[in-house]
Structure 1
């Protein structure tokens, strides 16, 4: 992508989700429950709820209530917690206690020691009482402690053990509020330790894992120069070779996560060990970042990226222009007036589509070159009535041409003939309980329909000299993209208070010049054009200007794609 046209910056205030929420700004609600037993599945009930709300190390409020379980508390539970049947006799039922707690906890991140237990009980009774459960984020201090506190400090990760490690001001005693207070001190102790390791946001805290090697953790400074902005990041080794390329709505936060969170992909963990620098390319919009990522991957072919490294390695299905046209698989589109379907990312999918077409259209499959006169004996396909056999004069040029016209119409506009015939064969095979064969036909048909729909959508966009579209982003401003012949030529965000018409005209004037290509080939890679199409078709996008005609066939393959891809074959 050219450097000049695409860089009006996204400089407005971004959401907390994009920037990462600093821990000192997050409100935590630390909750603890006492119950009649350990499982809601066994009918156990809540007997007490205790919670402490904190932010930035300061206690904002506390909540405590006993709960009438309307069942007898087992004797050993009464001894453990000190909560007796008499104590809960006049307490509110869960139907009254739970809404009060949810009101107290609203807008907080829920924290619990073994959150699966406490939050599990709360969610269960919310469902049982038909109370809407807020979309809480949840943090489990047990899981976090397992990555921070070693066996040399504590024999286990029980709340009582951790309270001693972090010198909690309250000793846990199996009463809800006291245990919640102790959990607050444990949470603050864990956060203090992790702060020294570069964990500064809620997102980093949630994703923290001790599995990150110390050598990798020491590299977190590599992210500090990156902006809080959408863009592309490039990891490099000591020789400046690009190792890995990725994209994010927030460059600094995403790159920091490689050094502070658990990376489950072995290859990427290995890459981080090798990396010695990270550079960023700031972009105006997420779509521009996505496109730049594809182009940079294709340029550098980084060894740790699995996808998009070889956009040139595609296959096209070609309907030739010659006296007796045929279908063939080719690597590129030529300026030869032939018709093309694709591109296919794998040769196997191209071969599958080719087979689906040969099932319906009995045109020749040989590679022989001959004129209008027959030259040899027909092959076995003609004997099986799967070829019209122009080679031995079994068909006249006019009849053969009519079949080819029908095939061309199937490829370019209306695939109904293939869909209907293959569906009929699938139904016949299913009736005979030959389900594997029917599924094989379905898969061939699906490959063809996908390819036909893709070709029709790409051809429509590629044929337009220019499409200008805009969408209002989360910050209220409009992101604008200029697309020429299927290639992103410019991207920007209209600044607050700016003249929208003048800004768009300036963006168009400075956009990259893009020349049309041969046939359905996009001026970019097919993957780039498809990403642009997904954005253009997303909710809220408005077309500002369309130069040329952007339309897909009404009877095209797209109308079959969704139905076909969800079709099952079986008894």
Structure 2
């Protein structure tokens, strides 16, 4: 869906049909999609000597050594001392054998760095503990205002930790690995000798991995000993996928969907399931069962994210843990009747009532409901009351927590005034709830009843988040249509058509095309979306929130807005910063393995 008039109409149906058909890129595979054989790659193995451990802290480079190799053959070497224009510490001089007198007439880094970059042009850079060496080079490139070339980087230390066992060597230092692989040069903290030793280590690692089926650069970069041989044999399942954003579906031998994921590069991401370390046990199990992988190419990453949500909801794959049951949500409802009340419901009806939500769990919804009942003494009994009740007061009325219309303790106008305040709190301003609960927390804290105060704090935070979410979603879903665009990294514009909070179409304007004509065609072909009651009528809350994050991201241009896309100035969103900061500070005091992030846009999982 990368060309004009690309629509997301009937996305789930379209996606399902696409998974059954042969992908249109199957016949267009290139040699590049099969991976780049290691024998064809030119590597530049580099090593540095420096005056200290931190370029940012003022340490300087004193020597650069590099060896260029391809297919096991050495193509050339590069070596130069570098004048640091500062004293070399005695400890470093003893370690490396490089003294102040040796570098006095050497070129400066301003001359040495361009010479090295010319030598390494077009190569994959290799270093032992690459973040150190490459980090120094990048630092001085930035300092000189020199753009850093788009080098791929391979770290032999990182690779060795995945391959070498304690039976092979006590550690993965260069000197230890040089002995394991019988390097022809002994590392001695001089740049060229250490680079030569790293070449032998690189070749030794590649030879060992060749026996495990690692023959391409992509496999070498992502290799992990945790990946079984059986998993590695399945890497061909990724070969038919494109280097493009989209959704991928793992299937078993009966074509049942096991897992749905999304990526900006389908082929690269899927390949990692067969070649890279996967710490999630269930994913390793899933890969073992999978017999095929289907890809659905998308015009934009946002379209891919939306397709993923819809496909997960449609197929409910057993290896997806989230988004499988978007229908299992709860709302807090303020009813429209003679004596309105708050209740928990599972669906939004066209009944002119006001709704807060959705909530992903009943427990969270109940916290929010408690915060509202703490503030507004509306009735909590179930069922409708006649306009002239003739009952008796309940326990809540005796405790002063209910106005008790049941026994005539309050007249209809007075009760309606409280309901109006409650409705205003839900739809526009949470100040009433915030003020009442803050006062209650302060009073409890003064009496050192901190645990009870903590209950009210959690209720208040839950309410504020829910109110802010509802107000943001309602603002979006009230708009019949929003058309927005953003210039992407490749210079092309991505365009999305959003109707009532649902993604109706997505596309990328082709280079040289008439942008206005493209947008008109895309809009005309977009899915027809009808309005419905509630804050998320036309899509799931998760889909609408993804769209909101995109619309609020930098660089967005609104092409057309049908309706008013606004949020109340005094809305709940302005309170979020405080409660999120408190939550983060609490998390910092909890052991890492016990932390649990609350659901919400700021805390979504990362694949």
TM-score range, shorter chain: 0.7 to 0.9
- CA distance in 2 between counterparts of 1:110 and 1:433 reads 61
Tell whether the 8 Å contact from 2:81 to 2:107 is kept in structure 1 after alignment.
no
The range that moved more, 277-286 or 149-158, is: 149-158
CA distance in 1: counterparts of 2:576 and 2:540, whole angstroms: 22
Q: How much has 1:542 moved relative to structure 2?
A: 1.0
Q: Distance in 2 between matches of 1:503 and 1:248?
A: 26
Distance in 1 (CA, whole Å) between partners of 2:488 and 2:417 is 51
In 2, the alpha carbon distance for the partners of 1:345 and 1:409 equals 24
Q: How does 1:415-434 map to 2 (within 5 A)?
A: 415-434=430-449
Query: CA RMSD, aligned part only?
Result: 3.9
After superposition, the C-alpha distances for 1:182-236 in whole angstroms (9 at most, x for unaligned) are 202322443465467356346x544421111110011000000111111000111
Go from structure 1 to structure 2 and tell me whether the alpha carbon gap of 1:462 and 1:34 turns closer, same or farther (over 3 Å shift).
closer
Q: Give a deviation string over 1:366-420, Cα, whole Å, max 9, x none.
A: 1143212232221121122111111111100110011001101111112111122
User: Does the Cα contact within 8 Å between 2:48 and 2:61 map onto a contact in 1?
Assistant: no
Q: Write the mapping of 1:392-431 to structure 2, written as runs, cut at 5 A.
A: 392-431=407-446
SS of the residue 2:102 aligns to: coil
Q: Aligned runs of 1:217-366 on 2, under 5 Å?
A: 217-366=232-381
State the Cα distance separating 1:145 from its structure 2 match. 2.0
Change (3 A) 1:96 1:359: farther
In 2: Cα distance, 1:221 partner to 1:414 partner: 56
SS of the residue corresponding to residue 409 of structure 2 reads: coil
Q: Is the 8 A contact 1:53 1:105 kept in 2?
A: no
2:487 aligned with 1:476, yes or no?
no
1:98 and 1:192, CA in 2 relative to 1: closer, same or farther beyond 3 A?
A: farther
**1:262: Cα distance to partner?**
0.5
Q: Are residues 132 and 322 of structure 1, via their aligned partners in 2, closer, same or farther at CA, if it must alter by over 3 Å?
A: same
Quote the offset at 1:177 in angstroms: 1.7
Residue 535 (structure 1) shift: 0.7
Q: 1:111-150 alignment to 2 at 5 Å?
A: 111-114=126-129, 139-149=154-164
**Aligned with 1:385: secondary structure?**
coil
Do the aligned residues in 1 keep the contact of 2:248 with 2:262 (CA within 8 Å)?
Answer: yes
Q: Please name the residue that 2:594 is paired with.
A: none
The CA distance in 1 between the partners of 2:41 and 2:483, in whole Å, is 40
Q: 2:479 aligns with which of 442, 460, 464?
A: 464
| Per-residue deviation, 1:307 | 0.5
The count of aligned residue pairs is 544
| Structure 1 CA distance for aligned equivalents of residues 517 and 35 of structure 2 | 34
**For 1:527-566, what aligned pairs fall within 5 Å after superposition?**
527-566=542-581
TM-score by length of 2: 0.79
C-alpha contact (below 8 Å) 1:522/1:529 kept by paired residues = no
Q: 1:319 to 1:257 in 2, by over 3 A?
A: same
Measure, in 2, the Cα distance between the counterparts of 1:34 and 1:409: 65
Aligned partner (choices 81, 99, 116) of residue 65 of structure 1: 81
Structure 2: runs of 5+ lacking an equivalent: 1-8, 19-23, 26-32, 587-607
* Whole-angstrom distance in 2 between the partners of 1:117 and 1:471: 36
Query: What CA deviation, in whole Å up to 9, does each residue of 1:506-562 have, x standing for no partner?
Result: 111111111112233331111111111111111111111112222222222222222
Alignment match of 1:31 (pick from 30, 33, 47):
47
Question: Aligned equivalents of 1:386 and 1:21: distance in 2?
Answer: 72
Give deviations 1:407-459, integer Å, cap 9, x for gaps: 01111112111122222333333444444333332221111111111111211
Whole-angstrom distance in 1 between the partners of 2:452 and 2:113: 56
Offset of residue 280 of structure 1:
0.6
Report the counterpart of residue 90 of structure 1 in structure 2: 101
Q: Which ranges in structure 1 are unaligned for 5 or more consecutive residues?
A: 11-17
Give the deviation of 1:54 after TM superposition. 3.7
2:559 and 2:231 map into 1 onto residues whose CA distance is: 47
Q: Name the CA distance, whole Å, in 1 between partners of 2:408 and 2:335.
A: 20
Corresponding residue to 2:461 among 410, 432, 446: 446
Matched-pair contact (CA < 8 Å) for 2:51–2:89 = no
Checking the alignment, whether the CA contact within 8 Å between 1:5 and 1:507 is kept in structure 2 is: no
TM-score for the superposition, normalised by structure 1:
0.83
Offset of residue 139 of structure 1? 4.4
1:383 aligns with 2:398: yes
Match of 1:486 in 2: 501
- The whole-number CA distance in structure 2 between the counterparts of 1:439 and 1:132 is 53
Q: Does 1:371 align with 2:386?
A: yes
Structure 1 residue 33, shift from structure 2 partner = 3.8
8 Å contact 2:247–2:296 — kept in the other structure? Answer: yes
Q: How does 1:175-186 map to 2 (within 5 A)?
A: 175-186=190-201
* Alignment equivalent of 1:170, drawn from 170, 180, 185: 185
Report how far residue 246 of structure 1 moved. Answer: 0.3
What is the match of residue 51 of structure 1?
65
Tell me how far apart the structure 2 counterparts of residues 508 and 279 of structure 1 sit (CA, whole Å): 28
Offset of 1:138 from its aligned partner?
A: 6.4
Supply the distance in 2 between the matched residues of 1:365 and 1:63 (Cα, whole angstroms).
81
